[in-house]
Chain A
Amino acid sequence: MIHWNSFSDFVAMGGYGFYVWGSFGATVLIMAIEPIVVARNRKATIARLKRQLRAETRNTAE
């Protein structure tokens, strides 16, 4: 069922290791970083909007 005879075979990818793992590495990196950036942006936006909202309500109360 498993195509590979050994782990080193798997890593070597028949001599194409750099190209194959480079492709997969770049993809994993992007798919890990993008959600982190989106989540951080969301946190920052919520914090900023909350500050603005509090400032607005304070001004209208005075």
Chain B
Amino acid sequence: MKDRFNLYRFASPATFYPFAGTLIPYFVAVSVVFGLAGLWLGMLVAPTDFQQGEGYRIIFIHVPASWMSMFIYLVMAGWAAIGLAFNTRLSGMMAQALAPTGALMAFLSLLTGALWGKPMWGAWWVWDARLTSELILLFLYIGYMALTAAIDDARRADKAGGLLLLVGVVNIPIIYFSVKWWNTLHQGSSVNLAKSSMATTMLWGMLLMAMCFWMYSIAIALMRVRTIMLERERHTDWVKAELLGKAGDEK
């Protein structure tokens, strides 16, 4: 039994904490490699777009940031569901650790969208279904953070925040399918499983940048969750040992 790999072991903060610590440098390294490869392909190799000229290159930031803003929310909602169903300690911490990065991704999506919209549509902002639902996503992130910060008891904060996350999850398919369901100014999806409308180098540049953003998000969330763990578990023996031992020496 002992040498069998047990996933549940990592549900305990005491085991997850050092495990996360060893993983962070790898995620950072992989993120940098993907980022450099994606920038090289997207900014140096990929051809000019026949409709949008060089302005389309915003896509290499805009699409990865938008994907991550939606994906991080889904992961948080997943953690919320697990936390509410099984009352696990780790899930609330994970949702907490992901929220600021998700909010930043939603913000980047809106900002780069505005910088893209201005030259292509002639407007920084329009109240179009895609843009509006993404703005609501940003507000959901901010609402989650404000709500959990306002409740002193961490477990109750997790429960209230978790409910907000689960209710708000309805917004994700709305964002994703908005360009299909409504007539929007926002262009349709450029990536399809069957046939992509993009040049190969453009597509690969975008996918590499998406991987870079993904790995970055994991790394930063793991960094954040380790601090949250110390804070929340400060009365446990393992945190005391950690604080008296090596925690002060490492970054």
Residues of A within 8 A of B (CB): 1-4, 10, 13-16, 19-20, 22-24, 26-27, 30-31, 34-35, 38-39, 41-43, 45-47, 49-50, 52-53
Contact of A46 among B107, B108, B230 (CB under 8 A): B230
Total A-B residue contacts, Cβ distance less than 8 Å: 98
Could you list which residues of chain B lie within 8 angstroms of chain A, going by C-beta atoms? Answer: 43-48, 53-55, 57-58, 61-62, 65, 100-101, 104, 107-108, 111-112, 115-116, 118-119, 216, 220, 223-224, 226-227, 230-231, 234, 239-240, 243-244, 247-248, 251
Q: Is there an interface contact between B53 and A15, defined as CB atoms closer than 8 Å?
A: yes
In the complex, the answer to whether A35 meets B108 with C-beta atoms within 8 Å is no
Chain A positions within 8 Å of B230 at CB level: 45-46, 49
Residue among A2, A26, A39 with max Cβ neighbours from chain B (10 Å): A26
In the assembly, what is the distance between CA of A47 and CA of B230, in Å? 11
A27 x B65 contact (CB < 8 A)? yes
Q: Please judge, given known A-B contacts A13-B55, A26-B108, whether A41 and B227 are in contact too, CB under 8 Å.
A: yes
Residue contacts A-B, CB under 8 angstroms, 10 given: A3-B47, A15-B55, A16-B57, A26-B111, A26-B112, A30-B104, A30-B107, A42-B251, A46-B243, A46-B247
- Known contacts A19-B115, A26-B108, A35-B220; is-contact A49 B243 (Cβ 8 Å): yes
Closest Cβ–Cβ distance, residue B88 to chain A (whole Å): 22
A14-B48, A34-B101 are known contacts; what are 9 more A-B pairs with Cβ within 8 Å?
Answer: A3-B44, A16-B53, A16-B119, A19-B118, A23-B111, A27-B108, A34-B220, A49-B231, A52-B234
